[in-house]
Amino acid sequence: MNSYATVLGLALLGSFLCGGCGPSQEAQEEKTLPPAEPVKQDVKKPDMEFEMRTDTVDAVRKKAEPGAVQADSTNWIIQYTVQVGAFKDPQNASLAQAKAKTRLQLPVTNEYDQKTGLYQIRVGSFAQREEAAAFRQKLQRDYPGDYNDSWIAEVKKPK
């Protein structure tokens, strides 16, 4: 019997030392608990809020209705102008526009092209391409180096 008591004592001692040699009830419960929710912190809102919007135009091509007048070249006026620059930066475009207005004493436009993202500075409005070409040559002659990269642009306007 003495050996039986020794074996039983060792078994109890081993069980005590290794905690049952298996996961405890607490350890099993920890594994099955749902994850804790994140702590929500109070975030102070700024005094000013900004709203951002993008201006867009959705174009939809419509089928011509029977009897409708189609837009063709007879519904457009074609004019020519001399483009003296194209700029990404609006401030640079404004400076070039002001300089051209002061120098040339002609209408100078600053048009933004959404396709290219450029501000286009254009001078004058001519009915004939030859008139625009003569004006461009005069610019290059009178202001060497300033308008060497200018070109003639065709502008279509509805009648």
pLDDT at 120 (0 to 100): 95
SS3 for 30?
helix
pLDDT exceeds cutoff 60 at 136: yes
pLDDT tens-digit readout, 44-90: 544 544 444 444 444 445 555 555 445 555 788 999 999 999 999 99
pLDDT tens-digit readout, 26-48: 545 555 556 656 555 554 544 54
Going along the chain from its start, the domains and CATH numbers come out as: 81-158 (3.30.70.1070)
Mean pLDDT of the chain: 74
Query: Residue 123 in contact with residue 136, Cβ under 8 Å?
Result: no
pLDDT at 90 (0 to 100): 94
> What's the whole-number mean pLDDT along residues 134-154?
93
- With a pLDDT cut of 70, the percent of the chain lying above it is 54
Q: In what order do the strands lie in the sheet with 108-113?
A: 108-113, 118-126, 76-87, 151-158
Give the containing element (helix H, strand E) for 91: helix 90-104
Nearest to 135 by CA among 107, 96, 110, 94: 107
